[in-house]
Amino acid sequence: MKLYLKNLKQKIAVAEEYSFNAWLRDEILSDFKGKFSAPAEVYLEVENTGEMFLAKGKLKAKVILECSRCLKESEFPVDIDLYFNIVEKGLQGEFTEENVVFFTGDEVDITTYLEEEVMLSLPLQPLCKEDCRGLCPFCGADLNTGACRCQEQNIDPRWEKLKQLIR
């Protein structure tokens, strides 16, 4: 995803709008065994401050991730605010690397930056639903669909003791 800055470079204190749809790479979701189910919709307002370009906007997308408890695939919305600087290489001087995308020439490629922002926004332990009951550690049955046989047999040993005492 590239922004063409040629026109904006001539106009200081002016902002231009950019909006586009593009698929991000599924590889960035490999830690989650995930994939994108919708292209990223990006809207940006980029202002030429004279020293650099200030970009503000939004990114929306949809990803399919594996539930960390039951391993079922679920769709998660991605909805993030973007706020970063675009700086021409060689002019960076006082700019730190954080939230800065460098470029040369008339266009800047923001793909890697957007992918990083999407990755940072994802839940560390995705859940298909808040109270997902996960899989039985013994037989692997999905406990969301009901109890498995192991649970019936696997009575808490403390209760067993209590039963014996009552007898």
Site of interaction with Zn ion (CB under 5 A): 67, 69-70, 128, 132, 136, 138-139, 141, 148, 150
Which residue's CB is nearer to Zn ion, number 92 or number 144? 144
Which DSSP string corresponds to 126-160?
--SSTT---B-TTT--BGGG---HHHHH---HHHH
Q: Which of 18, 112, 125, 115 is nearest to 61 (CA)?
A: 115
Query: At closest approach, how far in Å is the CB of 76 from Zn ion?
Result: 12
Longest dimension (CA), the chain: 90
Query: At closest approach, how far in Å is the CB of 42 from Zn ion?
Result: 30
Which residue's CB is nearer to Zn ion, number 3 or number 70? 70
Query: At closest approach, how far in Å is the CB of 136 from Zn ion?
Result: 3
Which residue's CB is nearer to Zn ion, number 29 or number 55? 29
